[in-house]
Amino acid sequence: MEEKKYKVADIASILGITPKTIYKLIENEELKTIQDTIRGRKITLVLCTDSELETLKNKYLEIKGKNTVNESNYEDILTGYEVVNESKNIQTPDLIDKFMNFSITVNEQHNNQLKEYIERVIESEKQVRLLEDSERNKENGYLRQIAELKAELEKERLKSKKWWQLK
């Protein structure tokens, strides 16, 4: 049988797998390759006979048939997702719990800082109001004293006029 040349993307689509998988097969020396120049670019071509191609197709169709995530409705995808995670030892619920606890902790810290800041602003405003009231009271006190002094001066002036008039 005659070997044919396939681009990596073409053989990947024929087998129903990703080009990345093809490159891994090339790395593991499961596929023969040659370097060729097409339109001035060096590219990797896969050399494969029809029987080898059929064997690979059957292998990946069998693997795909076992993969419930790729060939199922959305409910199976969700349950299949959990199975995939278990097989990779990824503990998604633990990661989510850790992330949520971290987020809650950070949020509580920020809320506490914000409360402290607001309390300090309120306390500062109270002090400003007290100082303003104190200043107003002092000012009113000064105005009263001035008014009293003016009244006394006026009385004294009137008395002195009367005394001059009597003589």
pLDDT, tens digit, 9 for 90 and up, residues 90-148: 556 778 888 899 999 999 999 999 999 999 999 999 888 888 888 888 888 888 999 99
Domain boundaries, the chain: 4-87
Q: Band the pLDDT of 84: cuts 50, 70, 90.
A: very low
Is the pTM of the predicted complex or chain greater than 0.75? no
Would you call 14 exposed, middle or buried from its count of C-beta atoms within 10 A (0-12, 13-18, 19+)?
Answer: middle
How much is the pLDDT for 163? 56
CATH fold, domain 4-87, is Multidrug-efflux Transporter Regulator; Chain: A; Domain 2 (1.10.1660)
